[in-house]
Amino acid sequence: GQKIDWKKNGDQTIPCINDLLVDKFGLKPEVRQSLPRLNQCVDFSSRPEILFIFDQASQQLNITIPQAWLAWHSDNWTPPSTWKEGVAGDRDGV
């Protein structure tokens, strides 16, 4: 899991998502660049279609992003920002 801080924003409490975590979302560059920083958090207020729903029972934050805003979508794809450099891949027959 990932530890998420929460910040007060008017009468709401919102998740403080940092740049490193947002980069793992795999957003298209133009969408990512449209999200300004507010202190240590990325400000999603300009993109209300990105939803953050906290499940109290499981202590899980569910994030919904329009598929059209993702750089790529495939069940077998992970964003390059999540790759670990220097970790060898699995090789069959070796």
| CATH top class, domain 5-72 | alpha beta
Task: Give the model confidence (pLDDT) of 9-44 as tens digits.
Answer: 889 889 999 999 999 998 999 999 999 998 899 999
In this prediction the pTM is: 0.70
Cβ(53)–Cβ(62) below 8 Å: yes
pLDDT of residue 88: 54
Cβ(88)–Cβ(94) below 8 Å: no
Q: Where are the domains of the chain?
A: 5-72
Task: Give the model confidence (pLDDT) of 33-89 as tens digits.
Answer: 999 998 899 999 999 999 999 999 999 999 999 999 998 766 676 766 667 766 556
